[in-house]
Each structure stands twice: as C-alpha cells, then as structure tokens.
Structure 1
Amino acid sequence: MSQNRRSILGAALALPAALTVGAVATAAPAAAVAGGVEAGEWVDLVLEAGITPTAGATPQVRLVTIAGTTFLQARGQITGSLTADTKIATLPAAFAPPTWYVRAAAPRNNSQGINACRFEINPAGSVSVYGGNTGNPITWAQFDSVQAIWR
C-alpha cells in the first residue's frame, strides 16, 4: 500500500511542475513585457584634477530603464592615491543629476583586507569615492560592477 501512496504523491507533485515548465517555455521574454529595456548612451564622467583614468577604461555612466524602473550603470577605472573621501568626477552637463544619493560598492586595490570602496553620486551631480585614508590609500577603483536604482 505504501507503494501506491508514493506513486500518487509523486504524480501529484509532478503535475504542478509539468504545468510550470510548460508556462515558462511559452512565456514571453521579460523585455517584451511591460515596457521593455531602454539603454542610454555611455557618457564620460568629467574627472577632477589629479584623477587619472586607466588606459582604455575611461569612467562612464549611462541610464538603463527596464520595465519602467531606471538604473544607473557605470564602467571604467581610475588610478591615483586617494587618502581621504574624495570627489573624483562630476556628471556631464547633459546628464540630469539624481534627486537623492545614489550609492554602490566598487572594487579597489586590496590593502589590509579591504577590497571595496563606496561609489556615490550626490544630488548636485558630484561623483565621490569613500574609504581611502593615509594608512590605506585607494590606488585604483573599478566601476564595472556599479549598478543602482536611479532616483
């Protein structure tokens, strides 16, 4: 009798899975639903004096809208010796600043076990990097992983 119960239970559990697989296989891609994806052009950040872009990796930002929600994406890398929280750039004039602070973690040189810094854009359009100090300067920071909701 336990054999029959297992068979019945197995069949009962397999049915919703089969229905779900069928629904997923015939579903429309996310981009085709509720507004799609709109990606803006990459725009160079206006770097502050003393901030050097890594060759071939000029810091840039763009806005991407997915199903009605807008995200900031960044890419590129800077080098230097940031020994304090530092303004590294400004958004270009054509790029509207956010209505609130936009923050994300970004990889940096691994020093004393610290390998990330804070990337931040304030409502005035200033781009800053936080986390460097005289005992543990940021010698490079990379922004390819920066993605945040744009407000």
Structure 2
Amino acid sequence: MPQNRRGILGAALALPAALTVGSLAAASPAAAAPAGVEAGEWTDLVLEPGITPQAGATPQVRILTLAGTAYLQARGLISCNLTADARIATLPAGLTPTWYARATAPRNNHQGVNACRFEVNPSGAVSVYGATATSPITWVQLDSVQTVWR
C-alpha cells in the first residue's frame, strides 16, 4: 500500500509541473516592456587599457526608467589585474550622470573578499574600488549592477 500512496502523490505533484511546462512551451515571446517601464538600448562601455572584456560578455550599460525613476543597469564581465582602486571605463557619449552612482559588483574571491564597489562619477568615469596589492581584482561581473541614476 505505501508504494501506491507514493505513486499517487508523485503523480499529483507532477501534474502541475507538466501543465506549467506545457503552457510555457506554447507561450509567445515576451512583448514590449510593461506600461511605465522604458528601457534604453545597451551601449558598450569605453574600456581603459589593460581592462579586457570576456568573450560574449561585453561590458555595457543602459538607462531603465521605472515609475519615473531612472536606473543605471550594467552587464558584462571584465578581466583585469588591479592592485589598487582604478578607473576601468568611461560611459558612452550621451550618458551624463548628475551625481555619483554606486553599486556592489562580484569579483574574484580572495581570502573571503568577493565584492567590490562599482562607481560612476559626475564626469562619466567608471571605477572599481577594493583592490589591494595583497588582494588583487582579476575579474569583475557587472550583471548585478543596478543603481539609481537620477
């Protein structure tokens, strides 16, 4: 009798999953952004010498406006060898911050330190903070960067 109960329970739990997969497979591609959301085009960052984009993960930024608030979003992955706070890029032409925009970004884990500060200053310089000679930054993932823009 216990096997029958398990079989019935397994079938009961599998049914909603099967229905969900079926409806997702039949769904049409995502439409435009919902009302109140404006997403700008992704634009490449202008990288500093010694900062290299990872293949297929070019560092880019865009402005996303949600309910009247503008956010800077970033994506991509860079390789570097930073032993001090450093400028890694410049914003593309046309993106001018009104104040500092800061966020936390994942970096290579070294002695338990696995995040750094990503910052854009009012002149459009993009910098990374947290590298030291004893804890160098060798890569930074930008996908988690999202901060209020203005």
Shorter-chain TM-score bucket reads 0.7 to 0.9
The aligned amino acid for 2:114 is N
TM-score when normalising by structure 2: 0.76
Q: Unpaired runs of 5+ in structure 1? A: 1-30
Partner of 1:89: 89
Partner of 2:4: none
The aligned amino acid for 1:138 is I
1:26-65 equivalences under 5 Å are 31-32=34-35, 36-65=36-65
Partner of 2:99: 100
Aligned length: 117
Identical aligned residues as a percent: 71
Partner of 1:80: 80
Partner of 1:149: 148
Structure 2 CA distance for aligned equivalents of residues 72 and 80 of structure 1: 22
Question: Would you say 1:109 and 2:108 are equivalent positions?
Answer: yes
Structure 2 CA distance for aligned equivalents of residues 121 and 110 of structure 1: 23
Q: Return the offset for 1:50.
A: 0.7
Q: Return the offset for 1:92.
A: 1.1
Stretches of 4+ moved more than 4 A in 1?
none
Q: Return the offset for 1:94.
A: 2.4
The aligned amino acid for 1:98 is P
The aligned amino acid for 1:48 is E
The root-mean-square deviation of aligned C-alpha atoms, in Å, is: 0.8
Structure 1 CA distance for aligned equivalents of residues 80 and 87 of structure 2: 12
Q: Unpaired runs of 5+ in structure 2? A: 1-33
Partner of 2:129: 130
